[in-house]
A and B are shown apart, each in its own frame.
Chain A
């Protein structure tokens, strides 16, 4: 049967074009790949190649015709053995142009207001695996020994335990092996696990992040250490475009179980390029989980959870906290749920929401506030994505007032996100606008006095808490 050649689209947005020129005449033989015509739009001219073989039977649109609609038959090609008499039987390839996106039908979906009797989070589209289904922290068996250790040691123990448990887990990064970690987090791991599983990389963040993700595609479970997350900016393409998105882009076929970890945010006196807080950056990305703990026990339990998790996890540590100590329960399966906040201090007058080193300001501010009769409830988010909105909202419904505390910048920050969620889910319970205490809107300065000014302070948290309490 003769084949109709249709006016092609050069892009999904093209609707019509001009038929500039025919390069083959009626009756001329055409082979697959031969240029038969030239068409043009306001943007470009383009050659039309034949995709079938035979003879150009009839030209339906003469050259020089303007505004030919896409998918209009422009010529007929006769297959071997067919003649002009067959032209009437020509069959067009089925045109299957997708309908244009109808925006009007998309705005109709309205959100039901959040009422008393409804679950706090009413978004029916929320994907599985977010806060609502996340279990509580595991019970610590009676008689479990509590060991006081530094956060540095808690991290090391978490990695060592998981590496003993699973031969697919390995650690790679700069100075993680022979140097024992730039911040001595991987102390002793090379000795126990050898150079096959504790791997010193060259200084090559983009490259080794990609190598880690590729190894994870193949089924290994890499822990990729960045000396600091400031250097991970070189690798962020692999983290986001490869690690976070591939499960979705592959229709669920190919995911990666990988942990990217290292110190994040401000250290001390290292200035702008070594002091950035990336909480907001990573927590924006669907496909990533983002953890930023404060206490030693949480560091251990959540790092173990991150290593066991089948998804890419960003584990944000804090250099200032590495030397801090805390009690950590001594048992191998101390694995905490990702996505669950913790009430670090109970109170009824104002909710302080923070995570990582922000908790230092929040907890000390709560002590100060207590002296003035204000009982602050301090929520330690621990995980930024998925964010435990339920715990935040439950606290705010109780206190009616909230302050967020973070070392990162305010614009498009995690605090901004928390405020939005409180507004969406607890607006009617608020007795005052929510306030944010954050790092100042400047690159981190070097001078000691300026650096101090650029970071949040206990005094600022106290002041904000009193302000929302109208005190």
Chain B
């Protein structure tokens, strides 16, 4: 599929590999969410959106240093996928990772304080935006080297298979990382050894400033596993229901011992690659169009309103989320920097 310049034709999204699990709904929209599911999705996505907006603001104020890659626009993917997971399932991703951490249930304060490099951050201020971990929440990072998390996530799946448990690992990476060699080394081993790993390619259409059509010979990323016999699907990554439905299929495939599965999530990042990216490689109209037509949060909000949920109730959710984010930002700016003695800790154990 060649991507039209104006954006994805989401209606054309479909399973691409013959072997992909039967999704039972070839035509039309994904299975509906209950009101509770929609409310949960709204809350979780809003938390990520507001958190990222605040992070952008703090970056602009100089409170966050270095690189800061925001997840705004892509929220439905991690929120939908998280709804498919069970206890002990693992998540690993690259450096655009704030959304994944919040979706895994990591504390907004600890994440924001890591962004500001404070001692209450998840890595005591030593990792920063791109390097955060939580063993407790089964979040394995936060990796700064493009594509490295794919082999590492395959290793998490290897450990599950070695131990004979039924856990699944999710390895997230972008359309840019999908061109790294180790991704295919990992695909080969994962299928060879039937490892329970879902490879989630978050195709936001730009690898930093290079569009997929300029960087990828095969722009249908769901087909990237074909030569390894790994099934794949293209998914409307802006619709949390479609994400969850596809995620359920993929996770079941893995849990049933059938090996890895690929989900290409078609999505869009509203902001630049990082905070210092003016995003001149695309038009404002393109961004506005996705925002206006496909925003993952607005989709849920509109469904809820159509379902006669009072606007006030949605405003309350927003207010609650803002409160969490503001508290996180306050904490992150007032928490002390790590003690100087921390310079020499955690090198060996």
Asked if A and B are interacting partners, one says yes
| Cβ contact within 8 Å between B61 and A204 | no
| Cβ contact within 8 Å between A98 and B63 | yes
- The reply to whether the CB of B158 lies closer than 8 angstroms to some CB of chain A is yes
Residue-wise, chain B 96-114 has the 8 Å CB interface mask toward A (1 for contact) of 0000000000000000000
CB A6 to nearest CB in B, in angstroms, measures 6
Q: Report chain B residues within 8 Å CB of A310.
A: 349
| Cβ contact within 8 Å between A208 and B348 | no
C-alpha gap A97/B117 in the complex (Å): 12
Q: Report chain B residues within 8 Å CB of A204.
A: 185, 188-189
Residue-wise, chain A 229-251 has the 8 Å CB interface mask toward B (1 for contact) of 00000000110011000111111
Contact of B284 among A8, A35, A170, A218 (CB under 8 A): A35
Contact of A212 among B72, B141, B155, B284 (CB under 8 A): B155
| Cβ contact within 8 Å between A217 and B57 | no
Q: Report chain B residues within 8 Å CB of A35.
A: 284
- The reply to whether the CB of A267 lies closer than 8 angstroms to some CB of chain B is no
Closest to A211 in B: B155
C-alpha gap A45/B272 in the complex (Å): 12
Residue among B123, B145, B185, B348 having the largest count of chain A Cβ atoms under 10 Å? B348
Q: Report chain B residues within 8 Å CB of A246.
A: 131, 133, 141
CB A10 to nearest CB in B, in angstroms, measures 5
C-alpha gap A70/B61 in the complex (Å): 7
| Cβ contact within 8 Å between A202 and B54 | no
Q: Report chain A residues within 8 Å CB of B150.
A: 210
Could you say which interface size class chain A belongs to? 35 or more
Closest to A12 in B: B65
A211-236 contacts to B (CB < 8 Å): 211-220
Contact of A220 among B63, B126, B159 (CB under 8 A): B159
Q: Report chain A residues within 8 Å CB of B126.
A: 248-249, 251
| Cβ contact within 8 Å between B62 and A206 | no
C-alpha gap A253/B106 in the complex (Å): 14
CB B308 to nearest CB in A, in angstroms, measures 23
Q: Report chain B residues within 8 Å CB of A247.
A: 346-349
CB A34 to nearest CB in B, in angstroms, measures 10
C-alpha gap A128/B140 in the complex (Å): 26
CB A304 to nearest CB in B, in angstroms, measures 18
CB B66 to nearest CB in A, in angstroms, measures 7
A60-78 contacts to B (CB < 8 Å): 70-71
Closest to B90 in A: A218
Q: Report chain B residues within 8 Å CB of A12.
A: 62, 65-66
- The reply to whether the CB of A209 lies closer than 8 angstroms to some CB of chain B is yes
Q: A44-B278, A196-B162 are in contact. Are A242 and B189 (CB under 8 A)?
A: no
| Cβ contact within 8 Å between A207 and B185 | yes
Q: Report chain B residues within 8 Å CB of A36.
A: none
| Cβ contact within 8 Å between B151 and A127 | no
| Cβ contact within 8 Å between B159 and A218 | yes
CB B252 to nearest CB in A, in angstroms, measures 22
C-alpha gap A125/B343 in the complex (Å): 9
| Cβ contact within 8 Å between B122 and A220 | no
Closest to B197 in A: A214
Closest to A92 in B: B61
Q: Report chain A residues within 8 Å CB of B140.
A: 214, 217-218, 254
Contact of B185 among A44, A196, A206, A287 (CB under 8 A): A206
C-alpha gap A212/B59 in the complex (Å): 36
C-alpha gap A258/B152 in the complex (Å): 13
CB B196 to nearest CB in A, in angstroms, measures 12
- The reply to whether the CB of B21 lies closer than 8 angstroms to some CB of chain A is no
- The reply to whether the CB of B58 lies closer than 8 angstroms to some CB of chain A is yes
Residue-wise, chain B 58-77 has the 8 Å CB interface mask toward A (1 for contact) of 11111101100000100000
Q: Report chain B residues within 8 Å CB of A125.
A: 343-344
Contact of A211 among B60, B154, B333 (CB under 8 A): B154
C-alpha gap A287/B270 in the complex (Å): 37
Q: A96-B58, A215-B162, A218-B156 are in contact. Are A252 and B345 (CB under 8 A)?
A: yes
Closest to B155 in A: A214
Q: A44-B278, A196-B162 are in contact. Are A252 and B60 (CB under 8 A)?
A: no
- The reply to whether the CB of B211 lies closer than 8 angstroms to some CB of chain A is no
- The reply to whether the CB of B181 lies closer than 8 angstroms to some CB of chain A is yes
| Cβ contact within 8 Å between B159 and A206 | no
- The reply to whether the CB of A201 lies closer than 8 angstroms to some CB of chain B is yes
B293-349 contacts to A (CB < 8 Å): 333, 343-349
Contact of B123 among A8, A170, A213, A250 (CB under 8 A): A250
| Cβ contact within 8 Å between B133 and A210 | no
- The reply to whether the CB of A165 lies closer than 8 angstroms to some CB of chain B is no
Contact of B156 among A71, A217, A242 (CB under 8 A): A217
- The reply to whether the CB of A263 lies closer than 8 angstroms to some CB of chain B is no
| Cβ contact within 8 Å between B152 and A214 | yes
Contact of A98 among B62, B145, B347 (CB under 8 A): B62
Q: A206-B181, A217-B155, A247-B347 are in contact. Are A253 and B123 (CB under 8 A)?
A: yes
Closest to A130 in B: B348
- The reply to whether the CB of A255 lies closer than 8 angstroms to some CB of chain B is yes
Closest to A206 in B: B182
Residue among B186, B343, B346 having the largest count of chain A Cβ atoms under 10 Å? B346
| Cβ contact within 8 Å between B122 and A251 | yes
Q: A9-B62, A96-B61 are in contact. Are A250 and B127 (CB under 8 A)?
A: yes
Contact of B131 among A10, A196, A214, A249 (CB under 8 A): A249
B119-153 contacts to A (CB < 8 Å): 121-127, 131-135, 140-145, 148, 150-153
C-alpha gap A289/B319 in the complex (Å): 50
- The reply to whether the CB of A113 lies closer than 8 angstroms to some CB of chain B is no
Closest to B341 in A: A125
| Cβ contact within 8 Å between A253 and B134 | yes
C-alpha gap A71/B63 in the complex (Å): 11
C-alpha gap A219/B155 in the complex (Å): 11
- The reply to whether the CB of B56 lies closer than 8 angstroms to some CB of chain A is yes
Q: Report chain A residues within 8 Å CB of B154.
A: 207, 210-211, 214
Q: Give me the 5 closest cross-chain CB pairs, A-B, nearest first.
A: A214-B155, A210-B151, A207-B185, A8-B60, A97-B62
Can you sample 24 A-B contacts with CB below 8 Å? Answer: A33-B291, A46-B278, A47-B278, A47-B284, A51-B57, A196-B162, A202-B192, A206-B185, A208-B151, A211-B152, A211-B154, A214-B151, A214-B153, A214-B154, A215-B159, A217-B152, A217-B155, A219-B159, A241-B144, A242-B152, A248-B126, A249-B142, A250-B346, A253-B133
13 new A-B pairs (CB below 8 Å) besides A33-B72, A249-B141?
Answer: A8-B60, A49-B56, A95-B62, A96-B62, A96-B333, A209-B151, A213-B155, A214-B140, A214-B154, A214-B158, A215-B155, A238-B151, A254-B140
